[in-house]
Amino acid sequence: MLNSKKILLIITGGIAAYKCPDLVRRMRERGANVRCVLTSSAKNFVASMTLSAISEERVYEELYSLTDEHEMGHIQLGRDADIILVAPATANMLTKMACGLADDLASSILLATDKPVFAAPSMNVRMWENPAIQENVELLRKRDIKIIGPEEGDMACHDYGLGRMSEPSEIIAALENFLTVDTPLSGRHALVTSGPTHEPIDPVRYIANRSSGKQGYAIAESLAKLGARTTLVSGPTHLPTPSGVDMVCVESASQMLAACEAALPADIAVFVAAVCDWHVAERAPNKLKKNMQSTPLALQLSENPDILATIGADNINRPKLVVGFAAETENVIENAKEKLTSKGCDWIVANNVSLDCGTLSGDKNTVHLITETKSEEWPTLNKSAVGLRIARRIAKALGNRAKEQSVGI
Ligand code: C5P
């Protein structure tokens, strides 16, 4: 999918720059033409000579190069590219991008381009978690800069956490995903639920769970990318709205059910939300005061509607393909199979959400796809890759649907 694509790789000064020769090689193997731009600090981590040998192109470094700037090099390099990829993207470069600074060749290209820009951050975990960086990254996302990773793991500075640059294979997968233009789901409507629900106790307190919403958002984004008109009904999360998706924000399970019913009819429904099983039977109209309650304070809980089971059993509006999720901490497959029957869905995506798996708030997921007849174990993948894979399976199943009776995998 990278065939004949012109990729301008901007390498900034992080230790992960050592992976860039491999990244260039792999992109070239897929048919891409790659040109590299190095910042002055990147030169400490990777040699210009190596990159020019592997890319078979000149490597660009200077803003004030008489030969290049005579041809307006910083404008022309961006103009010539189909995609600009900043990898590794340091905290410094992300901040320059967010502020619109242009004090070297790399940042000038980024400011002067209208081409799609991808950035693969790489930095120490505490730098990544710093609100200055988080806010700048959020700003960049809003401006449609596509952020790849970072990943969690051991760091060169002996810390552990989020901040490692994504592997070249993941970066290439993100570029290929972007370049995918096939839309097998065009003309279809997909409904996706995601995130937690908040069940109010009083006007300021609520019951919730640890769901981040990342997996559901990734599925919604992929379904939209494959051409489906996609409605994402989401409980409260901190995530930006995925591109191309119609977003409906809700808080409680009952609001989520109402929003789902209002969104029908749909061809596809994927219920990823971690819906609270109970709500507080009598929500207090005013804030509960601790000195005015009997101790221990007892909350009466009533069961919430099961959105998946309700829509799965809808005789009139049941979507053609209903997919549920089973977040389990033990006996994952058995429990998921039982859920497939009891909730009336066609497929169940089962995953282990024990705290030590880090699935609930993390970026990776290890899932099993279960149907009436089969169970498949998938490798551990980024949630975005799981999302795309599920969306592609859905597209394939609906494509086969005309020929076959059941929705097989
Ligand atoms: O019963 P459990 O919560 O484990 O079932 C998980 C599946 O059911 C998920 O697909 C979830 O989105 C869906 N669900 C729902 N409404 C509920 C509870 C779960 O749609 N009230």
**If you average pLDDT over residues 3-27, what whole number do you get?**
97
Tell me the C-alpha to C-alpha distance, in Å, between residue 359 and each of 273, 335, 395. Answer: 14, 18, 25
Distance 100 CA to ligand 1 centre (A): 44
Count of alpha carbons within 13 angstroms of residue 396, beta-carbon side: 8
Whether residues 213 and 307 share a domain: the answer is yes
Whether residues 226 and 361 share a domain: the answer is yes
- What's the confidence (pLDDT) of residue 402? 46
**If you average pLDDT over residues 230-236, what whole number do you get?**
98
**If you average pLDDT over residues 372-390, what whole number do you get?**
92
Whether residues 162 and 290 share a domain: the answer is no
- What's the confidence (pLDDT) of residue 404? 44
Looking at ligand 1, which residue's alpha carbon is closest to its atom 4?
326
Cβ–Cβ under 8 Å, residues 171 and 87:
yes
Residues 6+ apart with CB under 8 A from 215: 194, 272, 325, 365, 383, 386, 387
> Three-class SS of residue 343?
coil
> What is this structure's pTM?
0.65
- What's the confidence (pLDDT) of residue 263? 97
Between 131-142 and 91-99, two packed helices, what is the crossing angle to 10 degrees? Answer: 50
CATH code at position 77:
3.40.50.1950
- Residue 170's CB is within 10 A of a number of other CB atoms, namely 17
Looking at ligand 1, which residue's alpha carbon is closest to its atom 5?
326
Pocket residue to mutate for ligand 1, from 271, 331, 338, 347, most atoms within 8 A of Cβ: 271
CATH code at position 351:
3.40.50.10300
In a domain, 133, yes or no: yes
130-187 pLDDT tens trace? 999 999 999 999 888 999 999 988 877 788 889 999 999 999 999 998 887 678 999 9
Q: Which domain holds residue 398?
A: 189-406
Whether residues 195 and 340 share a domain: the answer is yes
Distance 249 CA to ligand 1 centre (A): 18
Cβ–Cβ under 8 Å, residues 151 and 190:
no
For the chain, first and last CA: distance in Å?
25
Residue where the block lists tokens 């609100």: 131
Whether residue 258 has pLDDT greater than 60: yes
**If you average pLDDT over residues 193-201, what whole number do you get?**
98
Last residue of a domain, one of 178, 197, 224: 178
47-78 pLDDT tens trace? 999 999 999 999 999 887 756 665 667 788 99
Residue in 20, 157, 249, 357 annotated catalytic = 157
Whether residues 225 and 105 share a domain: the answer is no
| Full DSSP string of 344-370 | T-SEEEEEE--GGGTTTTSSEE-EEEE
In a domain, 373, yes or no: yes
Looking at ligand 1, which residue's alpha carbon is closest to its atom 9?
325
Pocket residue to mutate for ligand 1, from 254, 308, 345, 351, most atoms within 8 A of Cβ: 308
Query: Whole-number mean pLDDT of the chain?
Result: 91
77-112 pLDDT tens trace? 999 999 999 999 999 999 999 999 999 999 999 999
Identify the residue with better confidence: 292 or 25. 25
345 belongs to the catalytic site: no
Distance 4 CA to ligand 1 centre (A): 45
Q: Prior bond to 196 cis, omega within 30?
A: no
23-36 pLDDT tens trace? 999 999 999 999 99
**Percentage of the residues of the chain whose pLDDT score is greater than 90:** 76
Distance 216 CA to ligand 1 centre (A): 13
Looking at ligand 1, which residue's alpha carbon is closest to its atom 13?
308
- What's the confidence (pLDDT) of residue 403? 41
Pocket-forming residues, ligand 1, beta carbon under 6 Å: 193, 253, 271-273, 275, 304, 306-308, 324-326, 339
Cβ–Cβ under 8 Å, residues 248 and 232:
yes
Number of folded domains that form the chain: 2
Cβ–Cβ under 8 Å, residues 218 and 232:
no
CA 342/CA 1 separation, integer angstroms: 41
Distance 324 CA to ligand 1 centre (A): 7
- What's the confidence (pLDDT) of residue 66? 55
Give the least confident one: 50-64, 68-82, 211-225, 298-312. Answer: 68-82
Whether residues 263 and 132 share a domain: the answer is no
Q: Prior bond to 296 cis, omega within 30?
A: yes
- Enter the tokens of residue 96: 């320059």
Among 87, 39, 85, smallest CA distance to 60 is for: 39
Give the least confident one: 123-127, 303-307, 380-384, 394-398. Answer: 380-384
Whether residues 153 and 207 share a domain: the answer is no
- What's the confidence (pLDDT) of residue 405? 47
Residue where the block lists tokens 């700003």: 139
Residues 6+ apart with CB under 8 A from 387: 215, 217, 218, 219, 220, 221, 222
- Residue 25's CB is within 10 A of a number of other CB atoms, namely 13
Between 91-99 and 105-112, two packed helices, what is the crossing angle to 10 degrees? Answer: 40
The number of the ligand 1 atom at minimal distance from the alpha carbon of 272 is: 12
Cβ–Cβ under 8 Å, residues 177 and 384:
yes
The number of the ligand 1 atom at minimal distance from the alpha carbon of 308 is: 20
